[in-house]
Amino acid sequence: MTNRVLVFLVAVTLSLNLSASPLDDLRRSFVEASAVSYAPNDEVTERFVKYSDNGRANDVLLLQLYMSVHLPDAEVENLLAEFDWEKKCWKDIDYADMNRGRWPSTLHITRMYSLAKIYKAGNARWKDSEQISRLLHLAMSWWYENMPKCPNWWHNDIGVPKKLTAVLLMIRDELSQEEISGGLKVLERSKFGRTGQNKVWLAGNNLMKGLLIDDEALVIKARDLIAEEMCLTDEEGIQEDWSFHQHGPQIQFGNYGLTYVETISFWLRALKGTKYDFTPEQKQIVCNLMKEGICWSVYKGVMDPSYCGRQNFIDGGTGKAYSLAVAAQNMAAAIDAERDFFTNVSNECLLPELYENSLTGARYYWRSDCGIYRTPSWYASVRMHSERTVGFEFTNKENTLANFSADGAVILMQDAKEFENIFAYWDWRKVPGVTSYDDGKPIKCDDSIEGKKNNSSHVGGIVAEGVMAATMELNRDGLYALKSSFFFDDCVVCLGTDIRGSNLEFKSIITTIDQIHLQGKVKTGDNWVHHAGRGYVSLDGAKINVTTDLQKGKWDLIDPAFKEKWDEGKVFKCWFEHPVNGTAGSYAYAILPCIKKGQVAAMAKKISDTKKSPIKVLRNDSLCQAVKHDDVLVAVFHSEGQYELDGQIFVAESPKIVVKGIEKAECKLVNLE
């Protein structure tokens, strides 16, 4: 090649680069971010597909997993084989089904997205495949001609436009004007508006629209609206304690909060280095939401069921951990200074068998009435609600058994398999940690504000060095109780008092200690139980009731997409019974994680000797609930007054929680009124 030709080619290249607009740069970055695969190997890829139920999942986060990897060859071959090339749609999709959550027609667009992804960046077999290109154009034509609508506004206004516009951008260079016009017609429903994550979704759809039609002003407006949600608020969105609210003051780590960080982290990645990038301050807020909030709720590749919101669906806990991994990889790519942290989070979510839990300590989310406690070998959480917060929801007929789920739930995980796909046959009156009633009727499913409300503001918690304490006054449905939980590095202590029911229909009142999959043998002693590497000790001598029965249930009460789908399994349950005749009940117990049977028996014997016991219940009444663990004393004062505990005098000017025995303890008392 002559020097003259080389100079000519260099000049042409420079000319093309100089003529590239900022929108061209952003489009290129958008396509690259859209086409990436988040799976480190083939086995994990298969799990992405499995957890999404091959793109059919009701939960948008699980559905998104199908579009987060390069599909395996067998799956692509199946999609091609199932496509009706004459009718321009898939033969195995029931387009007439109008299910609000698991709307089958959206699978049409989901598959288009996944195929467009490998068409742009898949292996040599599928990249730039003429067959896939033809399918995409035919499938697009079918959608424009039929314009299916779902009874659930979200699919029409957000879900379908979000996926379809991404497809259009990935193959923009081969679209006809008619195909672009059809896409714009679909996008007409994505108007700016709403709040929280819904606002972010709608703005993102309009940002993509701006890229599609070369409208920089629209891109900037949409970017700015997304940025408006990258802030702290006392309304829906990121709270100052790094929890996340949507649908009122309700903890939403596993639903809207996780979807928020997955969406925002994608835009952080796509906009990085362009003139449309977000500010460092905005990025830091999202970073903190993940580092101090959402990441804490996933342990050993599973999201805590208390933080999955209304979506404890099949493979929900593991699927949401995979969604967190997607967001973490985007954050690692978007924020150089945080690359190591978020890479570790992703690895721990996707490959927990190879990467150890790295988050330890405690977080109490006072804006959301819940807390998380983590050690190197076990995880625990407490979930409550008050007059300030919403405990649960039944949207789209999901989660219909959840009436007791935020009434002081204490979840403990060691291998993170304890609750795997158990919820169809879980006894929802026996949520671990909860005091509940049985009135002989089906579990109440009242979606009104009053029907779900805990009529008390006396709910709160604190965190000190190595200790977390949380307390709630439960006042719902004619059931009253004072409940406090104390978390130490080797145990969880739970106290309850003044437990009474005013409803004459109550057949029983119970406090559940635990309910998990049966794993091996159960051993019992006079005041203790051992199962699955954990011990349960009654601290006041009350009888611990235990069953290991086969339980059966229906998934459609959890997720209506699974019509008449039954499931069953053997379940370990342990609980206390309380009087229903007007006499006030109480409980006091300790959970000992990661312990052998002989050690539980020895600990129970020690505890029975008040002089030698490392765990001492100092008081458990309507004025004060207090525990001493070795040299650390933690007390909940429910009323003002002077108290003597373990030879020390405490003066409470108002209800509060106190921790003594920890040097330099920084205890922030929140919400306990």
> In this structure, is residue 478 part of a structural domain?
yes
Q: Is residue 17 predicted with pLDDT exceeding 80? A: no
Strands 83-84, 89-90: pairing kind? antiparallel
Neighbours of 592 (CB within 10 A): 21
- Per the listing, tokens 């304890």 go with 418
Round to whole Å and give the CA distance between 506 and 494.
Answer: 24
pLDDT at 127 over 50: yes
Could you give the 3-state DSSP secondary structure of residue 140? helix
Please say if the pLDDT value at position 15 is more than 60: no
Close Cβ partners of 530 (under 8 Å, ≥ 6 residues apart): 522, 523, 524, 536, 595, 596, 597, 600, 601
Residue 230 confidence (pLDDT): 95
Eight-state DSSP code of residue 556: G
- pLDDT recorded at residue 667: 47
- Whole-angstrom distance, CA of residue 532 vs CA of residue 594: 9
Q: Is residue 588 part of a domain?
A: yes
3-state secondary structure of 449: helix
Residue 210's alpha-carbon distances to 151, 192, 214, in angstroms, are 28, 13, 6
What percent of the chain has pLDDT above 70? 96
Is residue 245 within 8 A of residue 252, CB to CB? The reply is: yes
Flag whether pLDDT at 8 surpasses 70: no
Query: How large is the average pLDDT for residues 631-654?
Result: 95
Please tell me the number of Cα atoms within 13 Å of 222 on its side-chain side. Answer: 23
What share of the chain has pLDDT > 90, as a percent?
Answer: 89
- Mean pLDDT to the nearest integer, 353-374: 96
Mean pLDDT value of segment 72-82: 97
DSSP 370-434: EEEEE-SS-EEEEE---TTS-----GGG-STTGGGTTSSEEEEESSS-TTTT-TTSS-TT--TT-
Residue 581 banded pLDDT, cuts 50, 70, 90: confident
Question: For residue 150, which amino acid is it?
Answer: C
Strands 244-245, 298-299: parallel, antiparallel or unpaired by DSSP?
Answer: unpaired
Q: Could you give the CA distance from residue 168 to residue 632 in angstroms, rounded to a whole number?
A: 61
Cα–Cα distance, 547 to 525 (Å, whole number): 15
Could you tell me the strand order of the sheet in which 632-637 lies? 615-620, 624-629, 632-637, 656-660
* pLDDT band of 634, cuts 50, 70, 90: very high
Strand partners, 500: 480
Closest CA to 482 of 466, 470, 498: 498
Largest CA distance in the chain: 101
Within-domain flag for 192: no
pLDDT digits (tens, 9 = 90+) for 36-59: 999 999 999 999 999 999 999 988
Tokens of 190: 């994505």
Residue type, 367: R
Quick one: 664 exposed, middle or buried, by C-beta within 10 A (0-12, 13-18, 19+)?
Answer: exposed
* Mean pLDDT to the nearest integer, 66-86: 97
Average pLDDT over residues 352-363: 94
Query: What are 419's two structure tokens?
Result: 């609750």
Mean per-residue pLDDT, 496-525: 97
Q: Do the domain assignments include residue 537?
A: yes
Q: What is the DSSP string of 3-31?
A: HHHHHHHHHHHHHHHHH--HHHHHHHHHH
The alpha carbon dihedral of 634, 640, 646, 647 has a sign of positive
CA 153 to chain centroid: 23
- Mean pLDDT on 225-249: 95
**Does the pLDDT value for residue 382 go beyond 80?**
yes
Cα-based distances in Å from 5 to 8, 12, 16, 95, 125:
5, 11, 17, 57, 34
Res. 195 pLDDT band, cuts 50 70 90: confident
Per the listing, tokens 């003066």 go with 651
When pLDDT is averaged across residues 596-616 and rounded to a whole number, the result is: 89
Cβ neighbours of 519 (radius 10 Å): 16
Copy the structure tokens of residue 162.
């979000």
For residue 564, the domain's CATH number is: 2.70.98.10
* pLDDT for position 499: 98
In whole angstroms, give the CA distance from residue 422 to residue 515.
10
- At position 407, the amino acid (one-letter code) is D
Using CA atoms, how far residue 120 sits from 45, 83, 107, 123, 221, in Å, is 18, 20, 20, 9, 28
Establish if 240 belongs to a structural domain.
no
Q: CA-CA distance, 130 to 621, in Å (whole number)?
A: 74
Residue 7 above 50 pLDDT?
A: no
* Per-residue pLDDT, 550: 98
Distance, in Å, from the CA atom of 374 to the CA atom of 439, rounded to the nearest integer, reads 36
Mapped onto helix, strand or coil, the DSSP state of residue 227 is: helix
* Per-residue pLDDT, 591: 98
pLDDT for residue 3 is more than 60: no
Number of domains in the chain: 1
The answer as to whether 254 is a domain residue is no
Note the pTM of the prediction, 2 decimals.
0.93
What's the chain's average pLDDT? 93
Range of the domain at 485: 361-611
Q: If you average pLDDT over residues 110-137, what whole number do you get?
A: 96
**pLDDT-based confidence at 20, cuts 50/70/90?**
confident
- pLDDT at 668 > cutoff 70: no
Q: What is the mean pLDDT of residues 395-400?
A: 89
Mean pLDDT of 246-268: 95
- Average pLDDT on 180-185 reads 96
Q: Is the pLDDT of residue 14 over 60?
A: no
Residue 672 has a pLDDT of 63
pLDDT band at residue 6 under the 50/70/90 scheme: very low
* 321-333 mean pLDDT: 98
Write the pLDDT tens digit of every residue in 452-468: 999 999 999 999 989 99
Residue-wise pLDDT tens digits, 359-369: 999 999 999 99
pLDDT at residue 317 tops 90: yes
Q: What is the pLDDT of residue 11?
A: 38
pLDDT attached to residue 2: 43
In 3-state terms, what secondary structure has residue 255? helix
Would you say residue 346 lies in a domain? no
- The yes-or-no verdict on residue 339 having pLDDT over 90 is yes
Contacting residues for 343 by C-beta, under 8 A, at least 6 apart: 328, 329, 332
- pLDDT category, 662, cuts 50, 70, 90? confident
User: Is the residue at 406 inside a domain?
Assistant: yes
Would you give the DSSP letter of residue 609?
A: S
User: For residue 265, how many other CB atoms are within 10 A of its CB?
Assistant: 26
The residues with which 570 forms a beta bridge, in sequence order, are 550
Contact 571, 515 (CB under 8 A): yes
Paired residues of 482 in beta bridges: 473, 497
Mean pLDDT score, 246-261: 94
Question: Residues 379, 364: contact at Cβ < 8 Å?
Answer: no
Quote the pLDDT of residue 216: 97
DSSP classification of residue 478: T
Question: Distances in Å between the alpha carbon of 182 and those of 176, 187, 523, 609, 662?
Answer: 10, 9, 66, 77, 65
pLDDT at 592 over 70: yes
Instruction: Look at residue 305 in the predicted model and tell me its pLDDT.
Output: 97
pLDDT value for 5: 40
